[in-house]
A and B are shown apart, each in its own frame.
Chain A
Amino acid sequence: MSDRGEQLMPCREAVRRLWDFLDGSVSPADHAQVEAHLAFCRRCCGELDFVAHLRDLLASQTADELEPQTLQRLERFVEEEL
């Protein structure tokens, strides 16, 4: 980061906002600054891509490997107790 430091958001600040940036929940001003940073910083672009994969990893966990016996017990509970 050179003389443009005052205009360009530093890496540390851009990285802190990447999850929110992907959510679309940063302020318009921050969004513009992060975008401007990403246009110049290849490393942070790589980190943005990685954060997207991390979010996908979390989202893909919804189909847990559930023990059939536990589910069966709960189904019996539904039939017999409710």
Chain B
Amino acid sequence: MSGQGVAVTEPQPRTSESFQALARCELPRLLALARRLTREDAEDLVQEALLRGYRSYASLERDETGGPWLRAILVNVHRDRLRKDNRSLTELPVADPEDFSLFRTIAEEDPRPYSDTVHLDFLQAFAREDVREVLLRLPLIYRLPLVLCHMEGFATKEIAKLCGVPLGTVLARLHRGRKAFEREMWTYAEEMGLLKSGASNE
């Protein structure tokens, strides 16, 4: 704690005001995360996470980890809700997505004339809400590690701790989640007619 001439930042006192300040700052990210975990209950989920965070605020060790701490609480609240509703992260996964390659499928199936940018054109056809919808179609067992890793910046060890599973399980789910995401991007593009957007050939 003490140092010779080294400034040590004292953590903020854990007061209602300081928690409110933290919560206000983190609200957009919390809501964005909640919207990727659930379709309808995002606002409710955030409220419950904030309440739980407020009650356990004294356990926050470092101010600078307040954001990830609150997001971890949100994930735990969501998992608790699923357990309560007799749903869990062991829901049946989709058919094995491991061998699917979005890259090759685009090259082989895209109906447009040959284009050097056919793959990037495909990605650019997706708006934010399209990506969100694709994610929400994934089983939570795959969606959660994908979102936490690639969108929230959690390390795989942290995800394992958060989900209460071994690291190897997280890595396997992350791998399958990535492939499921690729497959779902294609399915969604077909359903929504995104393959016909961009260069016209009719």
Q: Do A and B come from one complex?
A: yes
A binding-site residues for B, Cβ under 8 Å = 12, 15-16, 19-20, 25, 46-47, 50-51, 53-55, 57-59, 61-66, 70-71, 73-75, 77-79, 81-82
CB of B151 within 8 A of CB of A62, answer yes
CB of A12 within 8 A of CB of B132, answer no
Nearest-CB residue, chain A, relative to B17: A82
CB of A82 within 8 A of CB of B151, answer no
Q: Please, which residues of chain A bring their CB within 8 A of the CB of B42? A: 70
Q: Quick one: which of A12, A25, A62 has the most chain B CB within 10 A?
A: A62
CB of A82 within 8 A of CB of B54, answer yes
Q: A58-B151, A64-B32, A82-B16 are in contact. Are A75 and B27 (CB under 8 A)?
A: yes
Main secondary structure of the interface of B (DSSP, over half): helix
**CA of A25 to CA of B99, assembled, Å:** 20
B binding-site residues for A, Cβ under 8 Å = 16, 19-20, 23-24, 27-29, 31-32, 35, 42-43, 46-47, 50-51, 54, 98-99, 101-104, 119-120, 123, 126, 128-129, 131-132, 146, 150-152, 156, 171, 175, 178, 181-182
Give 18 pairs: A residue, B residue, CB < 8 Å, sorted on A. A19-B175, A19-B178, A46-B119, A47-B104, A50-B119, A58-B150, A62-B29, A62-B152, A65-B128, A66-B28, A66-B35, A74-B43, A75-B27, A78-B23, A78-B24, A81-B47, A82-B19, A82-B50
Identify which of B31, B103, B131 contacts A61 (C-beta below 8 A): B131
**CA of A20 to CA of B175, assembled, Å:** 8
Q: What's the nearest-Cβ distance from chain A to residue B135, in Å?
A: 8
CB of A74 within 8 A of CB of B31, answer yes
3 smallest A-B Cβ distances: which pairs? A64-B32, A58-B150, A47-B103
Main secondary structure of the interface of A (DSSP, over half): helix
Q: Please, which residues of chain B bring their CB within 8 A of the CB of A15? A: 101
Q: Please, which residues of chain B bring their CB within 8 A of the CB of A61? A: 128, 131-132, 151
Q: Quick one: which of B54, B104, B152 has the most chain A CB within 10 A?
A: B104
**CA of A43 to CA of B28, assembled, Å:** 40
Q: Quick one: which of A71, A78, A79 has the most chain B CB within 10 A?
A: A78
CB of A50 within 8 A of CB of B103, answer yes
CB of A81 within 8 A of CB of B51, answer yes
